[in-house]
Structure 1
């Protein structure tokens, strides 16, 4: 792989789609070469599709106090969304730029902070997180079909209809096949679905507000909502998306330049997700349900069909990314202990497991607690990566090949464990002053602790900067902001 792109090759990149890994391994254990990088439009459509997940609507409903829970007024909800989504976009960019420059997925870039074997801890955690999300989204698909079709057979398992189980299983396998196909399938499906989804979402929101008597009535009702603090609201927003932010590394390694990272992050956290939060909030006020598609299926056959199609497309664009990234965590974690697992087989096996979990109630029974714990405990996972790249050992990312790094680096492992524990403590037992979000507080502590430990343990052999002869010239990429 050359260090620069000559004029002829650069021109080719603009006139033909880049090729991806022909073996379908999607560069699981190696950097993405320049020839396989994607365009800015690819980053945009992937992140719009990735960002359109119904949790954005659910979070909006939570801010509105859906179901009689504590909520917040419209101005406070708007401020909470700006703060929460603003944090997410900055964190996404901060993680995405190193991934773009190095062309490394999350597991490979984590080796610099955790070590070649030390990555097992964060990668196994990310694998469980993405499996949980995959199973939850499978259940969301079954849920909307259940609402649209009703109970046709009268057969129930664990309180779930037979229709729900069968439809969830079917769509779980469809998502699995798409993830197996790789980044090209994600780009194509997202590109086709994203504009349609956003337009219909806005139209549905206008219709719901109109049915309630206009925005004035919505704001009057919203003024009665109270009880949720800004810190709790931001934690909910961050918790709903922190796994996606960290997964963004695996998407942005395909970006050609830094500006493409900004475009992708903005597509998700400035355009798509805030829009869903606002629609979920107003929908909850106007109809009692933050999910506008549930409202659509009560408005006749045409809107029911449109709503179901929209729901499936929206979830499809997100869920194949969940499973795609899952394999990029499990594969390298297994490789760290000498086991080589092909990416395609991981996708198929985990997809089947996730489909079964989703079909038998993971979303119904565990999802709410799942995203709250995510926000509190697993935000710190990014702390060591950020501290290493921007403060401790940035030079090593261009001088040291991932395969030449030491097996374990204690500062990353210790700081993450401490941060995860503190996130839970701050969320459930010892709230931070001024309602400061638990997950963000834990991330800051993890970041600082990693820097302190790195300096304190700097004399240890594994902390030395690794220099692989010729690696800088090989990995140097032309970056345009």
Structure 2
């Protein structure tokens, strides 16, 4: 009974339902939610991935046809994965932390929550660093002050963090924290006016970069010389750039009014927004040697520079809001499971300040490339138990009244996830899969297959059918 009372108190705390399902009366308009996903999907990683596929920085890349298939298959996989998780969230109204109880257990769910909390904190720090870097490029270093030099720690080739870069990260990190503090409505308020404009800017600038590089024929001639990355690795990079967002989708889709709204949201992000950024980044890296179109705009005069910096900042605002908002929804339930409840807004402030500090000290510049590769290999299996339990084992039928009476630990979810994550890393770094298959997605499929087998062999099936009290 105390759990139910506590849940109601938290549900009413700020309207974000951290520890309770979202009721139908609190669901958000479909258009608002779709625009959140357009804005959510607009993040520099899309351009960065395009640059990786184009061999930016002297790394091995892929030819245009391979890049197309890597983006199509990677984003297609993310669309399916996000939609499946989103349908479960929309049908139940439950957050990732709550819905995970059915496949991981009431305290076993802390495993995926801690993983997602670390991932979203890393993303928040990375995006804050991205914004700071752009403003630093725009402002320059008139102070002449260097706050931190990565070369002093052995990271040669990483630009020093100037005072201007550091202050830009601190200022915008705190701004992002402030708006995430106010929840889903604040995220919508920023995304709706900004999302269409930034998409148009990206497309126009992509065309300009292509033209500056000599046109389409020159681009093809240069791009067809690329090679060495491999389709499987390329898909893993694409998936890694957004796997955390796909899983985070549960916490956004629980506010949707229909399954149709879920599908439209996933399509808006992974069919409309992100592939465009992937291709713009690829074209820019090949045509003008720069995947980041805002960096390119900075050299084209003050007017374009101002437009680029403002568009960049506002577009990343929605994404970083979502990272911080979801982070609080992962940390809060973990603390509550140990009878140490903390208000969602306090968690946002703590994570926002911590992420801002990390982001201002070159986390993006030093660790980001490895960060998304590891994500692409190890993180997809996290969603495996959720998909397998909801769609294969329970056939889409979750009894919300049993939310607070789940077993403490559900071993099928914990074991299958750990095996899947280990296999993803093994396939990526030790034993490459045949035919260039993507490590993370194959590990996810294995996890989905393992879960029902382990579930039937252990006591979970007896508990769910009433055989264990």
Q: Using the alignment, how far apart are the partners of 2:274 and 2:226 within structure 1?
A: 22
Is the alpha carbon distance of 1:450 and 1:400 closer, same or farther for their aligned partners in structure 2, counting shifts above 3 Å?
farther
Aligned partner of 1:149 among 106, 115, 139: 139
1:59-82 C-alpha deviation (Å, 9 max, x unpaired): 001111111111111111111111
2:98 matched to which residue of 1?
108
Q: Which runs of 5+ in 2 are unaligned?
A: 1-9, 150-160
Residues 241 and 375, structure 2, Cα contact 8 Å, conserved in 1: yes
Shift of 1:463: 5.0
* Equivalent position of 2:20 in the other structure: 30
Contact 1:401 1:467 in 2 (8 A): no
The whole-number CA distance in structure 2 between the counterparts of 1:313 and 1:236 is: 25
Give secondary structure in 2 for the equivalent of 1:113: helix
Residue 361 of structure 2 corresponds to residue 360 of structure 1: yes
Distance in 1, matches of 2:178 and 2:402, equals 33
| TM-score (normalizing by structure 1) | 0.91
Aligned length: 449
Deviation at 1:148, TM superposition (A): 0.9
Q: Deviations over 1:303-336 (max 9, x none)?
A: 1101110110111010000000000000011111
| Cα-to-partner distance string for 1:265-295 (whole Å, 9 max, x where unaligned) | 0000010000000000001111111110110
Taking structure 1 as reference, are residues 156 and 406 closer, same or farther at Cα in structure 2, changes over 3 Å only?
Answer: same
Q: TM-score, normalised by structure 2?
A: 0.93
Cα distance, 1:40 vs structure 2: 1.6
* Deviation string, structure 1 residues 36-75 (Cα, Å, up to 9, x no partner): 1112201210000000000000000111111111111111
> 1:213 is matched with which residue?
214
Equivalent residue, structure 2, for 1:184: 185
- The 3-state SS of whatever aligns with 1:28 is coil
Match in the other structure for 2:158 = none
> Is residue 161 from structure 1 mapped to residue 162 from structure 2 by the alignment?
yes
Contact 2:92 2:398 survives alignment (8 Å): yes
More displaced stretch, 235-244 vs 454-463: 454-463
Question: Which runs of no fewer than 5 residues in structure 1 stay unpaired?
Answer: 1-19, 469-481
Q: Cα gap change, 1:234/1:225 in structure 2, threshold over 3 Å: closer, same or farther? A: same
1: CA distance, partners of 2:22 / 2:112: 21
In the alignment, what sits opposite 2:330? 329
| Residue 118 (structure 2) pairs with residue 128 (structure 1) | yes
* CA distances 1:241-278 after superposition (whole Å, capped 9, x unpaired): 00000000000000101100010000000100000000
Does structure 1 conserve the Cα–Cα contact (< 8 Å) formed by 2:462 and 2:468?
no
- Please give the secondary structure, in 2, of the residue aligned with 1:157: strand
Listed one character per residue, the Cα deviations across residues 142-186 of structure 1 (whole Å, up to 9, x for unaligned) are 100111111111111222101111110010000001111100011
Counterpart of 2:226 in 1: which secondary structure? Answer: coil
Equivalent position of 2:156 in the other structure: none
Instruction: Classify the secondary structure of the residue corresponding to 1:397.
Output: coil
Shift of 1:405: 1.2
Maintained 8 Å contact 1:239/1:375: yes
RMSD: 1.7
Q: Is the 8 A contact 1:405 1:466 kept in 2?
A: no
Post-superposition offset of 1:394: 3.3
1:201 aligns with: 202
SS of the aligned residue for 2:399 comes to: helix
Indicate if the aligned counterparts of 1:399 and 1:467 stay in contact, CA closer than 8 A: no
Residue 352 to residue 465, structure 1, CA distance change in 2 (3 Å): farther
Structure 2 equivalent of residue 73 of structure 1? 63
Cα shift at 1:461 = 5.4
Deviations 1:346-382 (A, max 9, x none): 0000100000000111111111111110111111000
Deviation at 1:25, TM superposition (A): 5.1
Are the structure 2 counterparts of residues 259 and 112 from structure 1 closer, same or farther at C-alpha, using a change threshold of 3 Å?
same
Q: What is the CA distance between 1:459 and its match in structure 2? A: 6.6
Structure-2 separation of matches of 1:268 and 1:21: 28
CA distance in 2, matches of 1:57, 1:399: 40
Distance 2:194 2:467 in 1: 44
Counterpart Cα distance in 2 of 1:307 and 1:428: 37
SS at match of 1:23: helix
Name the structure 2 match of 1:61.
51
CA 340–441 in structure 1, closer or farther in 2 if over 3 Å, else same: same
Q: 1:467 to 1:391 in 2, by over 3 A?
A: farther
| Match of residue 82 from structure 1 | 72
- 2:450 paired residue number: 449
Change (3 A) 1:136 1:190: same
Q: Kindly indicate whether the alpha-carbon contact (under 8 Å) linking 1:116 and 1:405 is maintained by their aligned counterparts in 2.
A: yes
2:143 and 2:163 in contact (8 A); partners too: yes
The residue aligned with 1:372 is 373
Matched, 1:244 2:234: no
Q: Distance in 2 between matches of 1:456 and 1:401?
A: 22
Native 8 Å contact 1:59 1:237 kept in 2: yes
Instruction: Describe the shift of the 1:199–1:22 C-alpha distance in structure 2 as closer, same or farther (beyond 3 A).
Output: farther
**Separation in structure 2 between the aligned mates of residue 445 and residue 304 of structure 1, nearest angstrom:** 47
- Given that 1:399 and 1:466 are in contact with CA atoms closer than 8 Å, whether structure 2 keeps it comes out as no
User: CA offset at residue 406 of structure 1?
Assistant: 1.4
Cα drift, residue 467 of structure 1: 12
Q: Distance in 1 between matches of 2:246 and 2:381?
A: 12
Structure 1 CA distance, aligned partners of 2:73 and 2:395? 28
State the secondary structure of the residue aligned to 2:14.
Answer: coil
> Are 2:11 and 2:19, in contact at CA under 8 Å, matched by a contact in 1?
no
